[in-house]
Structure 1
Amino acid sequence: MIDHATVERIIATANIQEVVQDFVSLKKRGVNYLGLCPFHNEKSPSFTVSPAKGIFKCFGCGKGGNSVNFIMELEHLSYFEALKYLGKKYGIEVKERELSLDEVKQNDDRESMMVLNAWAQRHFSDTLYHHIDGKNIGLAYLKERGMRDETIKKFQLGYSLDNRDAFSQSAIKQGFKKEYLVKAGLTIDHEHGLLDRFYGRVIFPIHSISGRVIGFGGRVLRNDKKTAKYLNSPESEIYHKGQTLYGIYFAKQAITRENKCLLVEGYTDVTSLHQAGIENVVASSGTSLTVEQIRLIKRFTPNVTILYDGDAAGIKASLRGIDLVLEEGLNVRVLLLPAGEDPDSFSKTRSAKELLEFIGEKEEDFISFKTNLLLVDAGKDPVKRAGLISDIVRSIGAIPDAIIRTVYIRECSRLLDIEERVLFSEVGSLRRKKYESDQQVVPHDIYAQLQHKELVVPSFVQGVFCEEQEKELIYYLLKYGERVHSTYEDVNGDSFEITVANYIIAEIKNDELEFNNLAYRQLFDEYYRMLNKGEQPEARHFLQHPDVKISELSVDILTSEHIASKLWEKHSAYVESEEMILKLAVPKSVIVYKTKIIQSVMGKLHTQLSVSHKEGNQEQVNAILAQLNQLNQLKMRLSKELDRVVL
């Protein structure tokens, strides 16, 4: 980690006007500066830089933040990479902290392995084009697969001679140590001597997001059933298979531009699609998707389309891992290629325009795809259908967005011929169990005191937008989250302080409510996770957040005047002191938020009631009336609770 003092020094030194002017022409306008936004096309400048506040804000596309956020967004760098960029610009030495001798050696080893990998890539590429075996075997194979020179050179492909130690001996002669050859996974230290890991294989270098070679994949050319067709570098200090995606370095700009990532399985799937003109594509390299890989994609787009080659067994095996993608909040679509085709072969017979048209026409949302796929197997077998429903519920339950969950529940209700309320109940139960299994922010009995049981919001209340109230609650989290809201006693009589953050999170989580503004929800969830880890989130953490959406939101909320809700003003109550904010305004905001949700749902139910009356569906009428009665009682209780808080 970069030490806190260095981070603060960089942020304090990095003048936002100077940083932005490296990329944008600015004109002074009052105390601020104005220019054309670098993040979207505009003719009239709406991009504002405030040197006094140290922030930028575009009123066209909404992006905003500090100097670190600007560099992250513009250069697609991580938080620490952006800090190092600014440190270099302002001559500030960035040391993560004083390293031990072991850590110094580890860093030296990493850099030595990077240098070795860079040389190895050049050696393999040179062998491919200039050695007789490289040309006759490796290059001939790639050409036979339809790969053009520009593609081969773009991805820096190569060939390792079919000689058990040719590469290792060449590396030793160049002065590379055996220690690093083994650590990098290029050489195996065998009892009979050094053995090349990739001998007799076409080489696919694996690049980091910044373009450095961190590992290799090798495709064997011999027809030997005992030999694995593809072989990857082993895990090392510089290569972690589950944390990278093949082709991400070459695809990241196209992914951002297209706002979509195509996910395939193999190296040649990526290279062939690039050659066909489709560049927003990466590969998982045959592994099950990991959270780290998903988050890597999420840095550039929330939209993923997974390309399958029609192998039913393979598809079903991979479905299990896609719930992770849904859980991370990505929009997942699936494209099933025609029988006998894979992305490599399919892209060779079509133009880029035809490929894009096919993808646009044939891709479908993951939940519907999975439901239809599993329905074929389940048939009319009631046991299999029950298992199918559980499987689908598990996938829907992984989706963080309540509105999207609701849409999928309704679609699956239609496909599975099962009542929506049953699916809503099962999804709610699943999410409740998951929440209960998480480590709680405060002890369970304290939660019980915080949340009045008679005020629990019914589980059928889903997907209601209350953006104004959500923003107000986020404001209190950022501004006063660590302050003490009240004191309770636990079952043993011991006093327990409840912070504003504890109070708000308990009220929201216990009623299984979710913010529908995605940025608010992301901030809320991260705040919650940090509390679970024993950390006390500070506003500065979110202002300097590596995710530009979070920093933008924090800047917007904490640099604008807070406006009390209309319901608060209706009661003629005025918050004059911080104590009143903590004791009155915070619980009021929670109650107003829940009241707004109840009112919105009741409005929708009244519309449904009118339709059901006209259709003569008495069973549906009775069900809606029961729900309205339940909500009306809850609304009256909330109103009394609001009066008690205000008065």
Structure 2
Amino acid sequence: MISQTTIDKIFDATRVEEVIGDFVHLKKSGSNLKGLSPFSNEKSPSFMVSPVKQIWKDFSSGKGGNAISFIMEHEHFTYPEALRYLAKKYNIEIEEIKQTNEETEKANERESLYLVSEYAKTYFHDVLQNTEEGKAIGLSYFKERGFTDETIKKFDLGYSPDSWDAFTNQALANGYSLEYLDKSGLTIVKDDKKFDRFKGRVMFPIHSFSGRVLGFGGRILTSDKKAAKYLNSPESDIYHKSKILYGIYQAKQAISKLQNCYLVEGYTDVIQFNQSGIENVVASSGTALTPDQIRLINRLTDNVTVLYDGDAAGLRASIRGIDLILEQGMNVRVCTFPEGEDPDSFAKKTSNEELKHYLETNSTDFIQFKAKLLMEESQNDPIKKANLINDMIVSISKIPNAIKREVYVQECAKIMDVSEQVIYNSLAQIVAVDISKANKKLIEEERQKTFEVVKNTDTVKGLQNQEIIQDLEYRILDILINHGFTDEVFTEENYVLLENGDYEEAVVKVKRKVYNKVNLYFEYDKDVIEFTNPTYKTIYYRLIEHFRTLENNGATTFDVATFLLTQEPEIAQIVSNISFENHANILHDWNKKMIDVKTKEMTINQYVTETMLTLNWVWMAKMVTDLFQSITDKETEITDDVKHQIQDFNLLKTTLSRKLNRVYVVYNN
């Protein structure tokens, strides 16, 4: 268990913009930073980071929080895992407190898989460097590829002994569980037998965005035709081949800095380019490019240059991945190498400057590349040319940006020697089909929603008032988070003692902290109003307690980031959401709800008073409605006490309506 002293050091050192900047390309936006959401597929950036408040908010997914919560969300880490990640990032030595047996047994299964994978990486690398077999076979192979010791270390390259169970036995001897060796795919367990999956292969560890080992790729060095040349770890809780790119951990900073990503196919392509000084390169590892992999790049840059072998078989099929990149709104260029060369071989025999120059001068816009490639296939055949044009238009239809789409239409018309109108007509037909499909899907989704609403009619009854109350509760949290610790002068009704001993109602001005004023409303009307949302209620009382502690300690400001340090992810997300929505229109559609709540253009004291009186007013409306309903349902007799209760409610409603300058409306649920 990590000691509290270490946790405090981690929080003191951590900067949310630095942590998130390792995963998301951020640009300045006023006092904040903005980027594309790493949690959803979006074209326009809606991911905000506040260096001042040390929080982040993803408006597309609704997630938010501090640096810790981001690492937990993005990397699917537990709280301790996130702390360890940040400790490593900021070079903080972790002080451990001994765990109990029960705590050890509850260790997360994912963490166990990570630990097994990390051990395997270290084991394979050690075998490569320090055993006769490893040096004679594995190391000599990498040296033949031209890889330096520095490169081998940078990518954690290794070698798995050509033995059925050398790795497995060593792992078991070091205390690693056969269960997790099996689940990670490092060991194959069959009946009572167990053997190494990667025996006799050079090893390429596959890292996550944050550098954790997820799985492995292994290349066989013998000429065994029955064995696959490359073998990957099977899917597991931590390794999903379609969602990771080889080299992304080593390349992410260079991609973000240079605003371009070179996309290749193989492990050695990535490694050779890195050694040649081109670090902004990743590989799809021989699989067809997936939307998840493209979005991984899109977090860092909008620009992709796809590199193809000069004589790659099936090149036409390979370029289908370009359409997927276009769908993400990214800019695509293509570069091919001379016949007989691939990125690995070409980079190996080319200097850094020559390689950079080649890539710059031979990278072609995707439409020119695709047109040239397909035109060579058509060979002036009218039918083939028509199919070629349709193929080009399909690619253009994937582009979400209208301006880019128009530019490509013009370019395509020139290359294909057809009118722009013909292309626009074909484009419109394709888009119309896509819209029709989308509409059918939307209609089906709405039908399902309607079915659910009808099915749950009984639970929907009476929600209108409940929704209004929870909206107001949310607004109260907004007041506390953004203004709770500020001093304001409030106009209050009070009773003044006269010289004759009588009391007279008077209007006085009192200076209070906003949180104190809000809490007074709840204390005074605790028999009438209360929080209905349990999470909001928890946040409210934690904020009040936090403000009291600050005031008792003589603090002058409230730091939302400090408050979030001790909060659970769910609460941290709500608080950070509200903090970012400070200038947003939180309450909406109030006219339909018969309530005219003023906006925060008024002064803070007016805003607080308006909100609290409105909450009280709505509660009165709810209580009167509930009482009349119980009488209608004959659950309550109309006694004198009930009559007096109704009169008191109506009197209070009238008073609140006068203060709010509005007419009371009876709600019909």
- TM-score w.r.t. length of structure 1: 0.56
Offset at 1:21? Answer: 9.8
Q: Distance in 2 between matches of 1:21 and 1:185?
A: 35
2:335 aligned counterpart, secondary structure: strand
2:159 is aligned to: 159
Offset at 1:312? Answer: 4.5
Contact 1:184 1:233 in 2 (8 A): yes
Offset at 1:177? Answer: 2.1
For residues 582-616 of structure 1, what are the alpha-carbon distances to aligned partners after superposition, in whole Å with 9 as ceiling and x for unaligned? Answer: xxxxxxxxxxxxxxxxxxxxxxxxxxxxxxxxxxx
Contact 1:68 1:79 in 2 (8 A): no
2:364 is aligned to: 364
Question: Where in structure 2 are the equivalents of 1:417-496 lying within 5 Å?
Answer: 417-439=417-439
Q: Distance in 1 between matches of 2:231 and 2:152?
A: 19
Identity, % of aligned pairs?
A: 46
Moved more, 149-158 or 348-357: 348-357
1:438 aligned counterpart, secondary structure: helix
1:205 aligned counterpart, secondary structure: strand
1:330 is aligned to: 330
2:319 aligned counterpart, secondary structure: helix
2:404 is aligned to: 404
Q: Go from structure 1 to structure 2 and tell me whether the alpha carbon gap of 1:242 and 1:48 turns closer, same or farther (over 3 Å shift).
A: closer
1:310 is aligned to: 310
1:559 is aligned to: 583
2:55 aligned counterpart, secondary structure: helix
For residues 77-109 of structure 1, what are the alpha-carbon distances to aligned partners after superposition, in whole Å with 9 as ceiling and x for unaligned? Answer: 6682499699969xxxxxxxxxxxxxx999832
Moved more, 108-117 or 208-217: 108-117
Contact 1:261 1:303 in 2 (8 A): yes
2:73 is aligned to: 80
1:136 is aligned to: 136
Offset at 1:69? Answer: 2.8
Q: Distance in 2 between matches of 1:300 and 1:126?
A: 33
Aligned letter for 2:148?
Answer: R
1:112 is aligned to: 112
Q: Distance in 2 between matches of 1:391 and 1:431?
A: 14
Aligned letter for 1:339?
Answer: E
Q: Distance in 2 between matches of 1:559 and 1:145?
A: 58
Contact 2:309 2:337 in 1 (8 A): yes
1:395 is aligned to: 395
Q: Go from structure 1 to structure 2 and tell me whether the alpha carbon gap of 1:394 and 1:105 turns closer, same or farther (over 3 Å shift).
A: farther
For residues 145-177 of structure 1, what are the alpha-carbon distances to aligned partners after superposition, in whole Å with 9 as ceiling and x for unaligned? Answer: 110000001111100111121111111222222
1:300 is aligned to: 300
Q: Distance in 1 between matches of 2:441 and 2:582?
A: 25
Q: Go from structure 1 to structure 2 and tell me whether the alpha carbon gap of 1:76 and 1:220 turns closer, same or farther (over 3 Å shift).
A: farther
1:313 aligned counterpart, secondary structure: coil
Aligned letter for 2:220?
Answer: V
Question: Where in structure 2 are the equivalents of 1:147-546 lying within 5 Å?
Answer: 147-191=147-191, 193-439=193-439
Q: Go from structure 1 to structure 2 and tell me whether the alpha carbon gap of 1:69 and 1:358 turns closer, same or farther (over 3 Å shift).
A: farther
Contact 1:19 1:67 in 2 (8 A): no
Q: Distance in 2 between matches of 1:359 and 1:22?
A: 32
Contact 2:263 2:284 in 1 (8 A): yes
2:188 aligned counterpart, secondary structure: strand
Q: Distance in 1 between matches of 2:12 and 2:425?
A: 53
**Rg comparison, structure with higher value:** 2
Contact 1:64 1:555 in 2 (8 A): no
Q: Go from structure 1 to structure 2 and tell me whether the alpha carbon gap of 1:73 and 1:157 turns closer, same or farther (over 3 Å shift).
A: farther
2:371 aligned counterpart, secondary structure: helix
1:206 aligned counterpart, secondary structure: strand
In structure 1, stretches of 5+ residues that fail to align are: 1-15, 25-37, 50-61, 90-103, 447-551, 562-576, 581-647
Contact 1:72 1:79 in 2 (8 A): no
Contact 2:206 2:213 in 1 (8 A): yes
Q: Distance in 2 between matches of 1:270 and 1:285?
A: 10
Q: Go from structure 1 to structure 2 and tell me whether the alpha carbon gap of 1:332 and 1:127 turns closer, same or farther (over 3 Å shift).
A: same
In structure 2, stretches of 5+ residues that fail to align are: 1-10, 20-24, 34-46, 58-63, 85-103, 447-575, 593-669
Question: Alpha carbon RMSD of aligned pairs, Å?
Answer: 4.3
Q: Go from structure 1 to structure 2 and tell me whether the alpha carbon gap of 1:401 and 1:184 turns closer, same or farther (over 3 Å shift).
A: same
Q: Go from structure 1 to structure 2 and tell me whether the alpha carbon gap of 1:372 and 1:162 turns closer, same or farther (over 3 Å shift).
A: same
**Mapped pair 1:69 → 2:56:** yes
Contact 1:164 1:195 in 2 (8 A): yes
Q: Distance in 2 between matches of 1:204 and 1:335?
A: 26
Contact 2:68 2:83 in 1 (8 A): no
Contact 2:167 2:196 in 1 (8 A): yes
Number of residue pairs the alignment of both structures matches: 411
Q: Go from structure 1 to structure 2 and tell me whether the alpha carbon gap of 1:261 and 1:192 turns closer, same or farther (over 3 Å shift).
A: same
